Amino acid sequence: MLLSAALFIIGVIGVMVRRNIIIIFMSIELILNAVNINLVAFSAQLGNQIGQVFAIFVIAVAAAEAAVGLGIILALYRNKETVNIDEMNLMRS
Amino acid sequence: MAQAIAFYVIAACILGFGVLVISTKDTVHSVLFLVLDFLFVAALYVLLGAPFLAAIQVLVYAGGIVVLYLFVVMLVNLKRPPEAHSDPHRRTKLGFGLAAAVLVELGAIAAQGYAHPAAAIAAPATAAIPVSGNTEQVGWLLYTSYLIPFEIASMLLLVAMIGAIVLAKREL
């Protein structure tokens, strides 16, 4: 569980500190993997496979979210020619 | 004993590669460290007694999603690393501070869990699964008790696929 918490923290740091949006998405995948590790650890301790079933769903959701997110990045890149999220501000002047 | 050593080695590798993922300048190196991270997480799943989930992780995560990321990195070809100049509006210290706050919260939850161990976990009562072997047990649970989330997940994947195709089309 400590491992899962540490990996979660690393993912959170990555999401907040980096500016390349692809690396931000990869940090989100790290966070999801940390959650999965936690689920499987609980499943191993409690002796039933419910945690693993939930982890399968988390993997499926992560795959769907990665696909849609990367599609958004591609569409955004075609309009703005950058992956630096500090330059992607349409709301500020 | 060997299991403990294996766990610590795998855990150290996972955390090490995780740190390398978020701290490398080059995006392609970052993706490659992510692949290694996923493979070590799959090894951890085998150690924790979930070989089916380890195979799924290697197939879906390390095989599919990372290939997706590599394609996007290739299409978004970066001439210069986007971290070249630092933005005065960006508060990196605030990011580290928020991460430290999350760490403190997780530590508080963990400490409280250790203080009251009896009331912590109650295993949910599941009916006896009549098959043995990890894959069969996961499949049994997936198709009987958790059928509705399974169907919803398949709908979600379908919607995500359609959405991704629509988003990435050149003209609509």
The DSSP letter of residue B25 is: S
Predicted confidence (pLDDT) at residue B146 exceeds the cutoff of 80: no
Amino acid A93: pLDDT: 44
* pLDDT for res B46: 86
State residue B8's pLDDT score.
82
Contact criterion met (CB < 8 Å) for B50 and A84: no
In whole angstroms, what is the distance from residue A34 CA to residue B81 CA? Answer: 28
Cβ proximity of B15 and A7 under 8 Å: yes
Name the residue ranges covered by the structural domains of chain B: 1-79, 130-172
CA distance B23 to B148: 40
Residue B79 has pLDDT above 70, yes or no: no
Q: In this predicted structure, what is the pLDDT of residue B49?
A: 78
Structural domains for chain A: 2-80 (1.10.287.3510)
CATH architecture of B1-79: Up-down Bundle (1.20)
Q: Which two tokens stand for residue B158?
A: 């379908």
CB atoms within 10 A of CB B2: 6
What is the length of chain A? 93
- HEC string for A17-68: HCCEHHHHHHHHHHHHHHHHHHHHHHHHHHCCCHHHHHHHHHHHHHHHHHHH
Does the reported pTM lie above 0.80?
no
What would the pLDDT profile of B154-168 be if each residue is shown by its tens digit?
A: 888 888 888 888 877
Average pLDDT over residues A49-66: 81
Instruction: Please determine, for residue B108, whether its predicted confidence score (pLDDT) is greater than 60.
Output: yes
Instruction: Kindly give, in sequence order, each residue whose CB lies less than 8 Å from that of residue B132, ignoring residues fewer than 6 positions away.
Output: none
pLDDT tier, B144 (very low <50, low <70, confident <90, very high otherwise): confident
pLDDT number for residue B120: 46
CB contact under 8 A, A26 and B30: yes
Q: Which residues of A touch B142 (CB under 8 A)?
A: 53, 56
Pick from A6, A20, A44: CB nearest B49 = A44
Over residues A11-45, the pLDDT tens digits come to: 777 777 776 777 888 888 888 888 888 888 877 77
Which B residues in the span 88-147 are in contact with A, Cβ-Cβ below 8 Å? Answer: 89-90, 92, 94-96, 98-99, 102-103, 106, 110, 121, 123-124, 126, 129, 134, 137-138, 141-142, 146
Question: pLDDT: is B70 or A44 the higher one?
Answer: B70
Q: Which residues of A touch B53 (CB under 8 A)?
A: 36, 40, 52, 55-56
Interface of B with A in 19-48 (CB under 8 A): 19, 21-22, 27, 30-31, 34, 37-38, 41, 44-45, 48
Q: Do A30 and B21 touch (CB under 8 A)?
A: yes
Question: A15-29, A49-63, B68-82, B88-102: which has the minimum mean pLDDT?
Answer: B88-102
Angle B48-B54-B57 (CA atoms, 0-180°, nearest 5)? 135
Q: State the pLDDT at residue A63.
A: 83
Tell me whether residues A71 and B167 touch, CB distance under 8 A.
Answer: yes
pLDDT of the residue at B118: 47
Predicted confidence (pLDDT) at residue B40 exceeds the cutoff of 80: yes
Nearest to A10, CA basis, from B16, B11, B81, B24: B16
Cα-Cα-Cα-Cα dihedral sign, residues B32, A86, A80, B79: negative
> What ipTM was reported for this prediction?
0.76
Categorize the per-residue pLDDT at B119 as very low, low, confident or very high, splitting at 50, 70 and 90: very low
